[in-house]
Structure 1
């Protein structure tokens, strides 16, 4: 995947084909001009898929949003083979990133390529002669995704351009940044308009991964929580969650067994609200890493140089040892029932003569069990490392249970024994047979840390709770700077976009 600034992408009026993950590179023989596309319902669906494709984008440099956020958190270190291995992970982990170096370019391009595709779709689909209900559903799905792209962009970069229509190529270098409040207003508008036209459920076998009413409501609830609209957030979360521990109106229900969440075959289960799909059938190879439909995280987090020494050893594929857990996190989860399904304890396996492994960079001996690639899950074709099929949860029910409990607490609602907040928090604990605890921020924060470990939530939670400067100080996090990422230098050159004040700019 080539690196480019998003303003250049705006000028390229092309549509990426639905089966491709090659971003917006110009290859005329494989592309259809936007002006000649959007002629019928089939083409509208193909364009819809291209937006979904960007929603689950993985970078050609092995980057994913979850991987970046894990590396930035206090619970995990960059790891890998050395201090410069996949340098974008290293510099976000030790906070030596800048506008030229780090994962900002990937996150910026991912977001704005998604915005570009969304805007192209929304402008071109209106005149197509097709079933009105179906068209409204497609529009709702794209508005939800555009909101999701912008929610990430505004959280990561704060001051970003707000684009809701195509930009005239002659004016592309005159684009300026909007206020965060305006971006959040547009996000809320997109989601509010989308929710009524989304289906309550979708058939997993044929439409698993497509957006539903519950997913959009959960996303809007998260937006409200970030804006301190706690009562509004709690109300939306309640629509999604239903009766704590029961089955919601959309069929969501906590899985009885926490370990089952991480079974590759258990896709689109009852706890999944929004899931990013991966496949073992894409035949991804080294020449098109960013185009593979396989899950790159599976090879990234596996133990390096893994060799079982007894037949009963876990069947991990030898991976690249990125995003290892810290000793401090392991000590927190060690005696929690979720430990075994969360942490691959290679230190213990080696000490007990079960397996050996190579000690990579930042090695602690504690790897990510949730996503470690397995021999039993490897693809039958294509490059093994790039074609694992485990899906990723963008939003799952336990996450929303805990967010609703937090929103209720912060809105001043009742939180004592028997209250809704109490039931929500302790339903998550009861699933793993833990006793109830009072509803306090400390208990909610700890539960999120252990329940959602390595799923990309921790860094954003710490920033939202304003705890990042304290908790991440040992990594080099600087208060008033690292709560946002620097705008990539390529977006600043010859444009009206300004660098953030936190990073030496004026915006």
Structure 2
């Protein structure tokens, strides 16, 4: 069993923090320290902790890589209808590719640990709102809850059965921890059993609704979409409602984003990726720099996809065959010098911005949700789909069904982590495996089971 002090270090922000004296200073990173309550004295301190949560989400175990890459790798059976295959030698990824993840493996441990570091950072902010001025308190709380919610959404999807599997009041997801854990005195609050899928989703929706109600539309002229906004919260609400099959609310949430007027499709598909700043299409994104990024040799989306990096991902030629004549998305792939292999050009340039949710997804979500619910929220579904297709010079559709929209998601959102969630919510197979197969979720990390006897392992592990 792990010592208690080590357990705390897994769930407490590993305090690579030094609080800033002024808002415009960058957070200094001092490894090996931990936060103590006595260090949190001012509103600037609380803001510094909040900013560290954004920095933490750039980690390869979160949006810097694995939330996105593993979602596609898990949901793709290359021998059947999958579109990517891991051909590298790093065994933890090969195990995900073959659905043979080990409960003591570094991937389930890393994703779990980083997710709870981020969640606990948000909880620390919420526990210290008494140090925040009344005028800023609601927005700061909303921002922390946004961060907590989107990470709970990822963790619940990776470690528990999907909402579509039913039995949501009994199926376990992940522990629901909403109080800050900083010291041994707080340890009992962290040793929670796995909450049900229903309870975790209830918390996610409550947090995102509060975020949508209290966050600003934007952050001034720069429109810093690497921070949470009202419409980023609505965009994630749309994702959550889609996962629940609540299509009426999904259409409404996506419509809030689209009709805000804050976002627009960039003129050409390739202009949305490999940017050093945020695009007009980005609703929420991870802004990486050479000082703050997911890695340059062993981790990161570019590391795995780019031909001049590890190039560990093999893409089927059938992926390209799905694009019709004139569709510019078919050309957005990079070929090796001898044309023996190719990869997506979405993750080509190191230190580029990682779009987490963008406007094209909202158009497709509103279209599919309206078609499935029989509602008429916003524009006609056919128009929504064709806005996305026309941007890429694809031939407009004459009519659109819900299945047509799902196919458009495969074309537009490939390699962005969407496939896992689509498979789960629509109860699709991954090769011969049904969507609710135990091997299509991660095991609860053995390290966590060792220190928390209330945790129940997923079947088959």
Contact 1:140/1:197, CA 8 A, preserved across alignment: yes
Contact 2:218/2:225, CA 8 A, preserved across alignment: no
User: 2:351 — aligned with what?
Assistant: 389
* Residues in 2 aligned to 1:211 and 1:148: alpha-carbon distance in whole angstroms: 11
User: 1:275 — aligned with what?
Assistant: 285
* Residues in 2 aligned to 1:477 and 1:172: alpha-carbon distance in whole angstroms: 36
Q: 372, 377, 400: which one pairs with 1:410?
A: 372
User: 1:312 — aligned with what?
Assistant: none
Q: Deviations over 1:94-134 (max 9, x none)?
A: 2121312362112211211111111111001x21153x232
Q: 27, 30, 35: which one pairs with 2:32?
A: 27
User: 2:421 — aligned with what?
Assistant: 460
| 1:14 to 1:300, Cα distance in 2 relative to 1, 3 A | closer
User: 2:346 — aligned with what?
Assistant: 370
User: 2:300 — aligned with what?
Assistant: 296
User: 1:359 — aligned with what?
Assistant: none
Stretch moving more, 250-259 or 211-220? 250-259
Contact 2:225/2:283, CA 8 A, preserved across alignment: no
User: 2:22 — aligned with what?
Assistant: none
| 1:228 to 1:106, Cα distance in 2 relative to 1, 3 A | same
Q: 75, 87, 92: which one pairs with 1:88?
A: 92
| 1:207 to 1:273, Cα distance in 2 relative to 1, 3 A | closer
Stretch moving more, 393-402 or 276-285? 276-285
* Residues in 1 aligned to 2:291 and 2:11: alpha-carbon distance in whole angstroms: 33
Cα drift, residue 398 of structure 1: 0.4
* Residues in 2 aligned to 1:414 and 1:405: alpha-carbon distance in whole angstroms: 9
User: 2:131 — aligned with what?
Assistant: 128
| 1:26 to 1:490, Cα distance in 2 relative to 1, 3 A | farther
Structure 2 counterpart SS, 1:393 = strand
1:496 equivalent to 2:414? Answer no
User: 1:328 — aligned with what?
Assistant: 318
Name stretches of at least 5 consecutive residues in structure 1 with no aligned partner.
243-248, 304-317, 352-363, 374-387
Instruction: Give the RMSD, CA atoms, in angstroms.
Output: 3.1
Structure 2 counterpart SS, 1:350 = coil
The two structures have a TM-score, normalised by structure 2, of 0.84
User: 1:8 — aligned with what?
Assistant: 8
Contact 1:69/1:459, CA 8 A, preserved across alignment: yes
Stretch moving more, 423-432 or 34-43? 34-43
Q: Give 1:213-362 correspondences, 5 Å limit.
A: 213-242=230-259, 249-265=260-276, 267-282=277-292, 296-303=300-307, 318-333=308-323, 335=325, 337-346=327-336, 349-350=337-338
| 1:166 to 1:489, Cα distance in 2 relative to 1, 3 A | same
User: 2:46 — aligned with what?
Assistant: 44
1:113 equivalent to 2:117? Answer yes
Contact 1:70/1:323, CA 8 A, preserved across alignment: no
Contact 1:21/1:53, CA 8 A, preserved across alignment: no
Cα drift, residue 42 of structure 1: 1.6
1:482 equivalent to 2:444? Answer no
| 1:462 to 1:280, Cα distance in 2 relative to 1, 3 A | same
The two structures have a TM-score, normalised by structure 1, of 0.76
Q: Which has the larger radius of gyration?
A: 1
| 1:98 to 1:201, Cα distance in 2 relative to 1, 3 A | same
Contact 1:9/1:113, CA 8 A, preserved across alignment: no
Contact 1:231/1:411, CA 8 A, preserved across alignment: yes
Over 6 Å off, 4+ runs: 18-22, 283-286
| 1:181 to 1:339, Cα distance in 2 relative to 1, 3 A | same
Cα drift, residue 321 of structure 1: 0.8
1:162 equivalent to 2:146? Answer no
Q: Deviations over 1:76-108 (max 9, x none)?
A: 11123xxxx222221111212131236211221
Contact 1:14/1:34, CA 8 A, preserved across alignment: no
* Residues in 1 aligned to 2:416 and 2:434: alpha-carbon distance in whole angstroms: 21
Cα drift, residue 58 of structure 1: 1.6
